Amino acid sequence: MNGIWILLLLILSAALPAIIVFFWLKHRKPAFTLPWYLASLTAGLISFVVAALTLVFFVPLKQSGLGSLFFGIFIRIAMVEEASRLVTIIPFLKADKNRQQSDKTFGALVGLVAGLGFALIESAYYGITNLNITLLRAFTAAPLHGACGIRAGRAVFIAGENPVSAFLLFVSTVLIHGAYNLMIVSPAVPSALAILVAISAFFSSLGYIRDKPSVS
C-alpha cells in the first residue's frame, strides 16, 4: 500500500507542472483553449508510447566504451524520444485550417504542453522501475521535456519557411536531452549539473513563446 501511495504522490508531483502551465495559459494565452491544451497533453502521452515502442526495435550497440555510451544516450534515447515528439506535434499544423503556419508561438506552446505530458508519464514510469533516480527526475523531467518540447514545436511550425533553423532547433533538443541523460547516468558527474542543464534549457527556451502573434 505504501508503494501505491508513493506512486500516486509521484504522479501528482509530475502532473503539477502541467496544471500550473494550464492556469498560466488560461491567464496569459486565453486563445490557447482547453481543447488545444488537452490535445497537446495527449500528444505528449502518445509520444512517450511511440518512443517506447521504437526503442524496443532499436537494437543497441553491443560494444562497450565511450562510443557505445554516446550512441546509446544521444541517438538511441535522446534522438528517438525527440523524433517521437516531432511526429506527434506535426498533425497540429493541419489541425486548424484558419491558423497560419507562421504562428510560431502556437507551435512552441503545443510543444511545451506535449513535453509536460511526456514528462508526466515518464516520471510515473521511473517511479515504478527505478527509484534511485526518481527523486532527481521528479524535479528535472518537467523543465527538461518542457524545454525540448518548446523547441520541437517551434521547429515543426517554422520548417516550411526556414528548414535550416528548424533542423538546428531539433538538433538542440537532442543535444540538451542527451547531455541531461549523460549527467544522470554518470556517477562522476554531480547531480546538481543535471538540474542546472534542465533549468537552464527551460528558461533559455521561454523566448520562443513570447512572440507577438496571438494563438487565436
Give the Cα separation of 184 and 175 in Å (integer). Answer: 14
Report the share of the chain in percent with pLDDT over 90: 52
Report the share of the chain in percent with pLDDT over 70: 83
Q: What is the pLDDT of residues 41-55, one digit of tens each?
A: 999 999 999 999 998
Give the Cα separation of 85 and 110 in Å (integer). Answer: 11
pTM comes to: 0.88
Helical (H) or strand (E) element with 51: helix 34-57
Q: Higher-confidence residue: 39 or 186?
A: 39
HSE value, Cβ hemisphere, 13 Å, CA-based, for 65: 4
Residue found under cell 514510469: 125
Is the model's pLDDT at 26 over the cut of 60?
yes
Mean pLDDT rounded to a whole number for the chain:
85
The angle formed by the CA atoms of residues 173, 34 and 156, to the nearest 5 degrees, is 30
Give the Cα separation of 34 and 4 in Å (integer). Answer: 30
The residue ranges of every structural domain in the chain are: 2-209
